Amino acid sequence: MAITFHYEAGSLQTDNRSGCNLLQLAQEAGVHIEARCGGQGTCGSCMVVLGTGRYRVCGEIIEVPPRQRREALACQSFVLGAEAEIHLLQRSLISTESARISESFQLPLFDRQPRFTTGCGVAVDIGTTTVVAVLVRLDSGEILSCQSMYNQQILKADDVISRISLCSEPAGLKTLQRLVIDHTLNPLISQLCADGAVEPHEIVHLCVAGNTVMLHIFYALSPVSIGVLPFTPLQRCFESTAEKLGIAINPSALIEAVPAVSGYIGGDITADMQLSGLANRRGCALLVDIGTNGEIAFWDGSRITACAAAAGPAFEGAGIMCGTRAVSGAIDAIDFDRSLDFKLSVIGESEPIGLCGSAVIDFIAAGFRCGLISMTGRFDIGMLRTSGRYTSVNGAHACVIHRTHDSAKTAAIVVTERDIAEILKAKAAIYSGIKTLLAESSRTVHDLEVVILAGGFASYINLDNAFELGLLPALGTDRYEVIGNGSLAGAIALLLNRQLADDYRLLIDRPYVIHLNRTAKFTEYYQEAVVIPNLCPE
C-alpha cells in the first residue's frame, strides 16, 4: 500500500503500516513535520491536507473523493485504503531558515580580544521555543552565516515547567539534551558550515546564552531544583567541551555559556543587561525580554530588580493554529478596518504560509479598534459572516485571513478565538510582571525614562498595537529602545572578547530577584490584564 507525500520540493512514497499515524509514517520516510505537542492532537502544528483516499481521523472513518481535499492533523490520522495522497503544508514542515536573523540583533561596540584568534566560533541563543545560531570568523569578527529553527524539545513539552518535570527521570533529561543538540544544534551547525564554506573541525569555540533551565539541560545537568522552592539552580556558570556534549565541531572546542543570574533569570537577561548598559542609565529604566520565558529587569538608579513572567510560546508563533516563525512566507504585519479587507505584509513577499506573533498582535489590536474583537477576545460573528470571513476550526470561531486557490499547497490561514486567548494570556503575563516589578520598588510606569525591548520578536513588533493591546506600557514610542536579540549578541560578544566573561560574572550577582508567584499583587494584576487593553491603572 503506497502513501505519497507531496511537498513543495517534490514528493516521496512510503508503505503504510497499520497502527502508524501519518505523522509517524512521514517521520520514518524522512519528512519532518512539526509536532509541538508530541502527537497528542492539541497543538495543531502537524496539519496536512488529505487527498483522495480512505482514512480514520480522530476515530471517525472518512472518505475523500477524487479531486477533493480535507485538512486533518497528521498525528490523529491513519490511512485505511490501498493508496493515499497527502499534501504537506509548508508551515507544518520543520526547517532551518536564515531570514531576518542578522537584522534582529545589535552588536555592542567593544575591543576585540577573542580567546581563540584563529578558526571560527559559533554563537547560539537557546530559546525555549526557537534556537538561533551564528557562525563567526574569530580573527576578523566577520559573521559568515545565520540560521534558526524551533527548539526540537517542543516535541516533548512547550514550556520550561513541563521540561523540568520531564527531567525528574534521568532518561527524560537525556532525551531533552539530545533533542536540543542532535536534532536542533547539530543540524543548524551543518547548515551554517555549508553556507559559510567552513569545515566543522574549524569551529574551536562555541558560546551559548539562554534561560537557566535550557542551559542546565544543554549541559546535561538536572534542572529539577529550579522547579521547587527556593528555585535554586545547580550552577550559574557553565563550561564543557564539544566532545563531552556531542556537538559536531572540533572535539576539543570550548563550550562556554553566558552565566545566569538565578533559576528563572537566565544568561539571556545577563547578556541583555550588559548589552543595554542597564545599570549605567541615569534614570529609571526597564528591560523586557519578550519570549516564552519573559524576563524583566528594572533599574531604579541604584538597584536592579528582576523577575520572570511565563508568557508561553505564542509570541514566537508556536501554540497558534496557523503560527510560524519569522521565516520567508510568514505574515509579519496586518492592518484593516471594518471592511475586513486585510492588508498583509509577508516576509520575502512570497505566498503566505502562516502568521508570526507580531501579525497576531496587529490582528487583535486592529480587530479591537474596529469592533471585530471584544475586550474579552471574542469575535463579532455577524461582522465575520457579512464579510465572508467566518469559519469554524475544531469547534472554535475563526476569521479567515488568507485563502489560496491551490489548497494542495497552502490551506486557509485563520485566527481562532483560542489563538486570541493564547496571546491575551501571554501579554497579561508580561504586563502584570512589569507592574509587579515596579510596584515592588514603589514605582509606576510613569517613572520610567526608558523601556528597553529585547528578544528577536521585539524587533518586529508594532509598538502602537502593543500599547493598544496592553502588552507594554503606553508611554509613547520615543521612550522605547529596541536592542533585539540581546542573548545572541551577548553570545557573539563573548566569542570575540574574553574580558566579557569577567564582566558577566560580576553582573549576575547584582539583581535582586522577585518571584512573581509569591507576590499577591501579581495574580491581581494578571486577572486585570487578560482583557484588551487591560483594566489595571497605569
**Cβ-contact 481, 276 below 8 angstroms:** yes
Site size with ligand FES, rule: CB under 6 A: 13
8-state DSSP, 494: H
Cell 567541551 locates to: 241
**Cβ-contact 297, 306 below 8 angstroms:** yes
Q: Verify binding: residue 215, ligand FES, rule CB under 6 A.
A: no
Q: Verify binding: residue 354, ligand FES, rule CB under 6 A.
A: no
Q: Verify binding: residue 46, ligand FES, rule CB under 6 A.
A: yes
Q: Verify binding: residue 36, ligand FES, rule CB under 6 A.
A: yes
Residue with Cβ nearer ligand FES (46 or 269): 46
How far apart, in whole angstroms, are the C-alpha atoms of residue 298 and residue 437? 7
Local structure of 381: helix, strand or coil: helix
Binding window for ligand FES (CB under 6 A); candidates: 40-48, 167-175, 432-440, 525-533: 40-48
Among positions 452-491, residues that touch ligand FES (CB under 6 A) are none
Residue with Cβ nearer ligand FES (36 or 91): 36
Among positions 61-80, residues that touch ligand FES (CB under 6 A) are 73, 75
Residue with Cβ nearer ligand FES (36 or 236): 36
Cell 510613569 locates to: 446
Residue with Cβ nearer ligand FES (38 or 246): 38
**Cβ-contact 263, 211 below 8 angstroms:** no
Binding window for ligand FES (CB under 6 A); candidates: 41-49, 87-95, 338-346, 524-532: 41-49
DSSP per residue over 168-218, as a string? Answer: TSHHHHHHHHHHHIIIIIHHHHHHHHHHHT--GGGEEEEEEEE-HHHHHHH
The C-alpha cell at 287 is 528591560
**Looking at 22, 26, 35, 247, which residue binds ligand FES (CB under 6 A)?**
35
Work out the angle at residue 359's Cα, subtended by the Cα atoms of residues 353 and 365, and round it to the nearest 5 degrees: 145
Find out whether the peptide bond into 533 is cis, omega within 30 degrees of 0. Answer: yes
Q: Verify binding: residue 89, ligand FES, rule CB under 6 A.
A: no
> How many CB atoms lie under 10 A from the CB of residue 128?
27
Q: Verify binding: residue 128, ligand FES, rule CB under 6 A.
A: no
Q: Which of 105, 90, 169 has the alpha carbon at shortest distance from 136? A: 105
> Please, what is the minimum distance in Å from the beta carbon of residue 23 to ligand FES?
6
Binding window for ligand FES (CB under 6 A); candidates: 38-46, 178-186, 296-304, 397-405: 38-46
> How many CB atoms lie under 10 A from the CB of residue 173?
21
Binding window for ligand FES (CB under 6 A); candidates: 29-37, 125-133, 202-210, 282-290: 29-37
Q: Verify binding: residue 331, ligand FES, rule CB under 6 A.
A: no
β strands within 319-363, DSSP E: 330-335, 343-346, 354-355
**Cβ-contact 158, 318 below 8 angstroms:** yes
**Looking at 7, 39, 315, 466, which residue binds ligand FES (CB under 6 A)?**
39
**Number of helices followed by number of strands (H, E) in the chain:** 14, 26
> Please, what is the minimum distance in Å from the beta carbon of residue 304 to ligand FES?
39
**Looking at 14, 25, 44, 320, which residue binds ligand FES (CB under 6 A)?**
44
Residues at the site binding ligand FES, with contacts judged by CB under 6 A: 35-37, 39-46, 73, 75
